[in-house]
Amino acid sequence: MADRALVTGGAGFIGSNLVRALLAEGTEVVVLDNLSTGSKANLEEVADHVELIEGSILDADALKRAITGAARVFHLAAQVSVPASMVDPAHNDAVNCQGTQRVLEQAREAGVQRVVYSASCAVYGNAAGLPKHEGSTLAPESPYAASKYYGEVLGGVWSRSMGLEVASLRYFNVFGARQSPSGGYAAAIPIFVQRTLDGAPIIIHGDGLQTRDFIHVDNVVSANLLASRAPDAPGGVFNIGSGVQTSILELTQKIAETVGSATSVTHSEARHGDVRHSVADISLAERALGYAPAVDLMTGLERTVSWQREQR
């Protein structure tokens, strides 16, 4: 079988970065994306080298067409917002639960060698104990978190019982180029960078002392490529983070330092479903996948600020 890969959600933030890395490896790439949050602009400079199928993972015909001939599938297509999942849990379930099951079913039927599933650190919720390791107590706080855990469980079942190799990667807080600062559910870093560049105050939900493990997208792309090849990956669940804990207030200071201008902060109410503290134990991914986060937070912020300046 030729080295052909399907990236579901490949026109999105992480997916479009992964597509570029696969092309650089010489892989033939197919993208399946309904462009609900992804964008053709994210693939603009590589469009001639990628087969883009506009469609949902819930569209059986589009999914079958996209997956045929693929040796590897990187399943990133998802409803990715915690707040949106609280507002419309039924849509979240359809995309993240039913959609993932359909991807796995089609992958097995198509003879795919391995699926790498994009999971989430949201599964840990506010359970006690840091850093979070793969055996930590799980306490999902939102329909989004619950649905991403369901995808992991499916991946384990398909690996153990259904003859399909599946590896699940629990991403922590990913940031970097092609992450949109617009929209009601945009992530913190692109919004904070944009507001700092604009000289506008940064709005923090809560007191700002909540912590996150921010991981640059290049590290996440590397983890996907490793998980698609590593002999010990199938059936496994792996934390993909930096192993470094950063508060939201500290993050605003680092962004101001990177941009080279002062910033002001205002506070609003904490959001329902948000986790208080989060940081990854990445030792299992280091051992089993050979994963090592090569891009640290400050380097990642420099790249992100540079990219957002270019977009302006």
Query: Which residues form the catalytic set?
Result: 144
C-beta of residue 99 within 8 angstroms of C-beta of residue 81: no
Task: Indicate the SS3 state at residue 246.
Answer: strand
User: Token pair 């990956």 is at which residue?
Assistant: 233
Q: Cα dist. 216→82, 152, 263 in Å? A: 20, 22, 22
CA pair distance 31, 16, nearest whole angstrom: 9
CA pair distance 170, 279, nearest whole angstrom: 12
Give the contacts of 267 (CB within 8 A, at least 6 positions apart). 203, 204, 205, 206, 207, 208
Task: Indicate the SS3 state at residue 74.
Answer: strand
Q: Cα dist. 64→42, 102, 146 in Å? A: 24, 10, 27
Instruction: Pull the structure tokens for residue 294.
Output: 């090569």
* Angle, helix 248-259 to helix 188-198, in steps of 10 degrees: 40
Q: Please name the residue ranges forming H helices in 5-98.
A: 13-24, 60-67, 82-87, 89-93
